[in-house]
């Protein structure tokens, strides 16, 4: 028997065992209202990932590695603005609304204070982005692409995912986003026909959340409290001050995430970013398997860590037991069949992404099984300062080693830098979360 065929046969047999285990676990989860809600989210979330994978082969072939990479660079820069305008509110505001959900006045105060802070940060981020694009020659040349991608930032603010998450209304959010993904995918096929349409492609791929606001209005989905609260300047400033550590943690992750695209583009050019972006897209799809379940668990975990810590830890244990076989199996399959997957989605011009996919394939396991559950635990217990130190330490280490690896190995160096950083960050967070279990509950920061 051919050795390669035998290895794949063994791998498929192992996958069958894992899939059977996942099925048993999911049947158990149906007994709980929380996990039943999460399973509904997976049905909608699957569409969110399926549509981009359908559009990806067409987009890569039409735009080529360079055009696709230019969009990747612009969207990476916009991601900095998203991190700034989020300012950690996607975690802390969701947590606070979850705890106060039965107090309409408190929910209104949290919502409008958060939105006021975000609008202030939006103005700051737009000024900074404009300056960066104008002073960087390669960015200035592609300024229309950056402008088209800026709708990401406006959509992220206008569509309050954190608000829906705090109220455990993620079914509404997932349904809206799925519909806008379908609309965006259809628009790509209808309007993008050549490499000269790169700006239009950038706009369409960056607009789903902005379109989600319109979809919510059409479907009469409530995206804000029914009562208005006018926050004071001091309240806005206090909300920003109380969130700076979570924000610092988020910005630190960009030092080993988004920054890799920017540095790779400046050193190796858009074509290398195109290859790297394709591999990231595939790996992020696997990582996205964890998103609906962790989003569904986070509000409940926040309440349980306030009232029933033993119950909260049992919930986190069940979360990991579901995520590990599900994400691990998909990551393994991605690594095994990377050449076939890349050839189908990217075509011959993108085959350089194969080794990158195999290097990055393990990162969803680090994130889904380690970082995400640990992050829920640490934020719910108010240990944001320690979370910040982990991200800052890992981010600085990545900034030091990543340019060297990129200069020497191009996109492969960026992939290794990302994998090493994610492994170390997840390990540190898991250790800290387990240590937290043995400590008394701290006051919230």
Q: How many residues does the chain have?
A: 445
pLDDT in tens, the chain (445 residues): 555 555 445 444 544 554 455 445 544 444 455 555 555 555 555 666 677 778 888 888 898 888 888 998 899 899 889 988 988 888 788 888 888 888 889 999 999 999 999 999 999 999 999 999 999 888 898 899 999 999 999 999 988 888 887 887 767 777 787 788 888 888 999 999 888 899 999 999 999 888 888 888 888 878 888 889 999 999 999 988 877 777 776 676 666 667 788 888 888 888 888 888 888 888 888 877 777 677 677 777 777 877 788 888 888 888 888 888 888 898 999 999 999 999 888 888 889 899 999 999 999 888 877 766 776 777 777 776 777 778 778 878 888 888 889 888 888 998 998 899 888 888 888 887 777 766 555 444 4
CA distance 191 to 356: 31
Is 2 inside a domain boundary? no
Is 333 inside a domain boundary? yes
Domain range for 380 is 32-437
Q: Reduced to 3 states, what is the DSSP secondary structure of residue 256?
A: coil
Is 70 inside a domain boundary? yes
Residue whose C-alpha is closest to residue 56's, from 330, 284, 331, 363? 284
3-state secondary structure 188-219: HHHHCCCHHHHHHHHHHHHCHHHHHHHHHHHC
Is 19 inside a domain boundary? no
Is 444 inside a domain boundary? no
Is 25 inside a domain boundary? no
Q: Is 301 left (phi over 0), alpha (psi -120 to 50) or beta?
A: alpha
Q: How many other C-beta atoms can be found within 10 angstroms of the C-beta atom of residue 418?
A: 24
Is 200 inside a domain boundary? yes
Is 1 inside a domain boundary? no
Give the CA angle between residues 296, 298, 302 to the nearest 5°: 135
pTM above 0.75, yes or no: no
Total domain count, the chain: 1
Contacts of 2 by beta carbon, 8 Å cutoff, 6+ apart: none
């Amino acid at each position: 028997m051919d050795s390669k065929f035998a290895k794949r046969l063994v791998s498929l047999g192992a996958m069958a065992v894992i899939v059977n285990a996942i099925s048993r676990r999911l049947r158990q989860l149906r007994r709980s209202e929380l996990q039943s809600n999460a399973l509904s989210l997976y049905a909608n979330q699957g569409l969110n990932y399926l549509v981009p994978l359908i559009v990806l082969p067409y987009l890569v072939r039409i735009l080529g590695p360079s055009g696709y990479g230019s969009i990747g660079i612009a969207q990476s820069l916009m991601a900095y603005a998203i991190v700034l305008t989020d300012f950690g509110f996607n975690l802390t505001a969701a947590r606070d609304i979850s705890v106060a959900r039965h107090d309409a006045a408190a929910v209104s105060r949290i919502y409008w204070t958060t939105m006021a802070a975000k609008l202030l940060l939006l103005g700051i981020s737009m000024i900074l982005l404009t300056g960066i694009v104008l002073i960087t020659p390669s960015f200035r040349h592609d300024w229309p692409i950056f402008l088209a991608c800026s709708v990401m930032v406006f959509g992220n603010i206008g569509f309050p995912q954190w608000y829906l998450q705090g109220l455990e209304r993620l079914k509404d959010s997932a349904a809206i986003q799925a519909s806008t993904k379908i609309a965006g995918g259809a628009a790509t096929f209808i309007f993008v026909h050549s490499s000269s349409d790169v700006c239009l492609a950038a706009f369409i791929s960056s607009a789903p959340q902005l379109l989600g606001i319109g979809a919510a209005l059409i479907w009469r989905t409530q995206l804000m409290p029914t009562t208005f609260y006018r926050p004071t300047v001091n309240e806005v400033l206090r909300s920003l001050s109380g969130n700076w550590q979570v924000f610092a943690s988020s910005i630190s992750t960009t030092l080993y995430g988004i920054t890799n695209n920017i540095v790779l583009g400046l050193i190796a050019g858009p074509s290398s970013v195109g290859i790297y972006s394709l591999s990231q897209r595939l790996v992020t799809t696997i990582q996205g398997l964890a998103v609906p379940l962790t989003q569904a668990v986070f509000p409940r975990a926040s309440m349980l860590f306030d009232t029933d810590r033993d119950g909260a830890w049992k919930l986190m244990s069940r979360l990991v037991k579901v995520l590990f076989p599900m994400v691990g199996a998909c990551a393994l399959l991605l690594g095994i069949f990377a050449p076939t997957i890349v050839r189908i989605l990217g075509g011959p011009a993108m085959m350089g992404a194969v080794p990158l996919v195999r290097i990055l394939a393990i990162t969803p396991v680090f994130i889904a099984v380690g970082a995400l559950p640990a992050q829920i635990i640490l934020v719910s217990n108010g240990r944001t300062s320690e979370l910040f130190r982990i991200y800052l330490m890992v981010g600085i280490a990545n900034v030091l080693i990543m340019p060297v690896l990129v200069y020497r190995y191009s996109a492969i160096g960026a992939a290794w830098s990302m994998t090493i950083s994610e492994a170390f960050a997840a390990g540190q967070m898991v250790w800290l979360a387990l240590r937290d279990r043995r400590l008394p509950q701290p006051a919230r920061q």
